[in-house]
Amino acid sequence: MKALLKRSMVVVLALGLTGSLAACSSPSEGETQAGGSGTIKLKLWDQSVGNTDPSSKLLPEIIEKWNADHPNIQVERTGTTGEQYKTKIKTALAANEAPDVFYGMGGGSFMQPYIKSDNVLDITSYVTDDIKAKMAPGMLEGITTNGKIYSLPVYTHIASLYVNTELFQKAGAKIPTTYQELLDAVSKLKEAGITPALIGEKDRWPGMYWYDLIAMRQAGNDAVVEAFKDPSKWNTPDFVAAAAKMQELAKAGAFNSSMFSMSYDEMLGAFNAGNGAMMVQANWVNGGIEDESSAVKGKVQVVPFPIFEDGKGKSTEIFGGGQDGFYVSSSTKYPKEAVEFLTYLSMELGTKGFQAGAGLPSWNTDGIDTSGLSELDQAAAEIMKTGNSFITWWDNILPAESADAHKNLIATLLSGDMSPEEFCKQMAQLKPTELDL
């Protein structure tokens, strides 16, 4: 018996060893194949692996179809989850070992250093007028940096106010369209013992969405763009007033008392369980709200963030609309094929993703069936259509270090440890954006 056990152990070990050997040698096999039989292998890295993320279902289907249609250009996909993906792609890019095509995490300040250091392929010459004509309005401007194109849009997201209509009815509050109505709603909800709004400030960016929207409503998008270019303009009366309003809301008890220990995920969980009446988020939360497991399914409305009586911003000025797409590595051996795949992927994922509720379209959607979309998705698409000015997430526009400082400043402002004046003085110390706006 013992001898048998020993022998089978040896076999298992041997199998394991050969297995790992095979694993080691497979990349080189791939390369020789590419040279020999003319088959090109492209590597794709993305971060769409979540259960509720429609892209994680669509991506394998799109790649399978591509591989079937293009026997000579085979795509191999590796998906990694969000935060880990960030670290992984940064490390690979810095080591010049990036895959041929990869997801660029919202572009902006995330990709800027790699574009500057030529780790990303300039695809301007590959983007034909034909492709440009298929893009939705405003998208081409968004992907152009210094006259060059590095990425194609997939879909886009805009942030709006999500309200739980059931809780609003219970408290007898009106869905706010102005700042005064927002304050009224807060006090009515509080009286009824309902948490007016939820912020997952442990992750810091959910609070940033509130301040950034308030600032855009108070000062108007043009002033915000000016300030991105010349940070000293952050210290002007309009931005001080915006910071004061943010603090006023916090002091009025608009936000959950546990915001500093609540993560983004916990915030979504709490909102979907009906534990808060309002949330400022982008349309990527729609899927979760409309999910079968959600207690607030069908009870949530998405509306434009309230306008301010004394503000310069309009409800047609929208927070979001950024490009969130894939990039081609400059170290790829097959730039032409990689861009060809990038175009196919961006268009397919953009349109199919829109239909599946993953995001708002950045490609022309005329004649596309939208009947499968949830009410929230359709409402968000309507808000997007009204938009005539877009400013994407500020932490993507600001250089990385300033983005971090911006989020920390807002957290301090929310905690009441900092006056609006001091907040704006500190904001004026930020670095100007490196992007074209």
Partner 1 sequence: MNSVFSNKTAISIFVLPTLLIFCGIVLVPIFISSYYSLLDWNGVGKGAFIGFRNYVEMFTDTRALHAMKNSLLFAAASVFIQLPISLVLALVLASAVKGEGFYRTVYFIPVLISTVVIAQLWSKIYNADYGLLNTLLKDIGLSGWVQDWLGQKKTALIASFIPTLWQYIGYHMLLMYAGAKSVSQDIFEAAKIDGASRVRTAIAITIPLMRPILKVCLVFSVIGAFKVFDLVYVLTGGGPLFATEVPSTLMYTTIFDTYRYGYGSALSVFIILECLVFTVVINTFFKTE
Nearest Cα to Cα of residue 92 among 78, 108, 109: 78
Tokens linked to 15: 């199998």
Question: Which segment (60-68, 145-153, 168-176, 397-405) binds partner 1 by CB under 8 A?
Answer: 397-405
Binds partner 1 by CB under 8 A, chosen from 87, 125, 169, 388: 87
Tokens linked to 348: 């397919």
Binds partner 1 by CB under 8 A, chosen from 45, 114, 126, 344: 114
Q: Is 422 exposed, middle or buried (0-12, 13-18, 19+ CB in 10 A)?
A: middle
Binds partner 1 by CB under 8 A, chosen from 128, 257, 293, 371: 257
Interaction residues for partner 1, span 174-233 (CB under 8 A)? 201-204
Tell me how many residues contact partner 1 (CB under 8 A). Answer: 30
User: Of 119 and 156, which CB lies nearer to partner 1 in the complex structure?
Assistant: 119
Q: Is 169 in the site for partner 1 (CB under 8 A)?
A: no
Alpha helices of 159-298 — where are they, by DSSP H? 165-171, 179-191, 205-219, 221-229, 237-251, 264-272, 286-289
Residue 232 identity: S
CB 418 within 8 A of CB 408: no
CA 328/CA 151 separation, integer angstroms: 8
Binds partner 1 by CB under 8 A, chosen from 7, 116, 132, 148: 116
Question: Which segment (130-138, 180-188, 242-250, 251-259) binds partner 1 by CB under 8 A?
Answer: 251-259
CA 411/CA 414 separation, integer angstroms: 5
Triad 365, 153, 367: Cα angle to 5°: 5
CA 375/CA 378 separation, integer angstroms: 5
Question: Which segment (51-59, 83-91, 306-314, 345-353) binds partner 1 by CB under 8 A?
Answer: 83-91
Residue owning tokens 């408290």: 171
Q: Is 74 in the site for partner 1 (CB under 8 A)?
A: no
Window 329-368: contact mask with partner 1 (x via CB under 8 A)? ----------------------------------------
Q: Is 80 in the site for partner 1 (CB under 8 A)?
A: no
Please compute Rg for the chain using Cα positions.
24
Binds partner 1 by CB under 8 A, chosen from 47, 119, 151, 294: 119
User: Of 217 and 406, which CB lies nearer to partner 1 in the complex structure?
Assistant: 406
CB 173 within 8 A of CB 164: no
CA 341/CA 362 separation, integer angstroms: 17
Q: How many CA atoms lie within 13 A of 26 on its CB side?
A: 8
User: Of 117 and 124, which CB lies nearer to partner 1 in the complex structure?
Assistant: 117
Shortest distance (Å) from residue 408 CB to partner 1: 8
Residue 144 β-bridge partners: 149
Shortest distance (Å) from residue 200 CB to partner 1: 11
Q: Is 69 in the site for partner 1 (CB under 8 A)?
A: no
Q: Is 49 in the site for partner 1 (CB under 8 A)?
A: no
CB 427 within 8 A of CB 231: yes
Shortest distance (Å) from residue 29 CB to partner 1: 27
Give the 3-state secondary structure of residue 222: helix
User: Of 116 and 336, which CB lies nearer to partner 1 in the complex structure?
Assistant: 116
CA 186/CA 174 separation, integer angstroms: 10
Q: Is 406 in the site for partner 1 (CB under 8 A)?
A: no
Q: Is 415 in the site for partner 1 (CB under 8 A)?
A: yes
Q: Is 258 in the site for partner 1 (CB under 8 A)?
A: yes
Interaction residues for partner 1, span 264-323 (CB under 8 A)? 270, 275
Q: Could you list the residues that contact partner 1 (CB under 8 A)? A: 86-87, 90, 93-94, 113-114, 116-117, 119, 201-204, 257-262, 270, 275, 400-401, 404, 408, 411-412, 415, 417
